Structure 1
Amino acid sequence: MTEKPEQPKPAPGRLRRLTARSVPPLPSLPAWWPVPACAVLGALCAGTYGMLQEPEYRSTGYVIAAPAKGTPPDAALGYAQAYGRITSGDSTLTYASVTAGVPAATLRAQVQTETSPDSPMIAITGTSHTPTQAADIANAVADALLTKSNGMTQNTGVKLVDFSRAVPPIASSSQPVPLTSAVGACAGGLLGGLVLLVRPRRPGEPAAPTPLPAPAHSTDRVGAERERV
């Protein structure tokens, strides 16, 4: 029975060359890759947050200060500014919390008041995750302010009147998902640009050019020649 001749084994150096040829080298990423990568990551994170956050609704009602008979009109403007400041007071919010069904501590963060320096009008805005509750909060605070202020009409000569009731809004005031994604992409791109500025230089990248020394002035040469003479 004849034995097959053994095949000659390739030399180690040749084996390494064959392995290097069989595996193609991986393409190197460009130096500016952090910018698009961070922009895409920021857009994904911001878009996910925009989809998962609860919608927020805002509803606004208006009350106006009217001067009583014999009271100067400027007094109504001054009292409107004063009543706008006490809208977020503890007594007003405690009275409104019973009607709105929201604790006074929570109601403080869900109510915003705005006054105008040109007109005796007070805007009361309620914020909630449902449109009906947003309108109920604004109307409850407005009713509490009317009750509190009109009890002092004989002393102030100014009466608050319900000018416009708050109604449930049709659309939410939350930012849409495309807008949040765009903001996240811009923030991520900016972060990627900062990474490019602070990252260490990779081997093989050209170093920054070194400035050459400025040539000596011609008067220095003349002075040197005179010293030689």
Structure 2
Amino acid sequence: MSKIIEDYIKELNQKLEDLPESDRQDVIDYYHEFLLDGDFQTEQAIIEDLGTPKMLARKVLADYSASADSQSTKQSRKSSHSNLKTIWLILLGVLAAPIGIPLAIVFAFVMIAVLVIFCAVFIAFVAFVLALITGGIFVLVKTFGLLCSSNWATGMFYVGLSLALTTIGIMLLPIIGKFVQFLLARCATLFRYLGGKIFKRHYFKTRSTSGIEE
């Protein structure tokens, strides 16, 4: 193997550290053989065909994250962290994919817009929960003096209302975590779908997938 190919493969391997070891080795073996068979003589020739190791790694990781097959092997690890990583890898892969600058910008804009919408929904939900708690406390403080006056019955009503608001807010607090997981799961699913539409050429190449037509 020439020094040029050796250096390219070594850097690619480092950039693919997020892939499981067995899958990473298969990908490295595939592109190693690809470069040897192609008889590339210069680094520029490799970059023109595959992109830089960093760009190729992003496309491989994005294709892997968007792949239904790869996701089915990670059913037990569908955590918020893994979904967030999936979203990030696919977004980076879209930006690195050679699908034309205008089209890349459109897809990236759509994905970023989706993230903004999901963040807005999350912030609105958190604000609603906090408003219930703070509103309940505020009502309690403002009406506490009524309990010691002739309007004690009205005071009792507002005290009950404040306790109800605060209790509902506190009960909703644990749901915030579940809500985040739900939003990230739905967002990751959407990104996988969009990624599957974008990556017509499969960059996640292994010995078992190398027969896929590009």
Give the TM-score normalised by structure 2: 0.28
The structure with the larger Rg is 1
From the two aligned structures, give the one with the greater strand fraction: 1
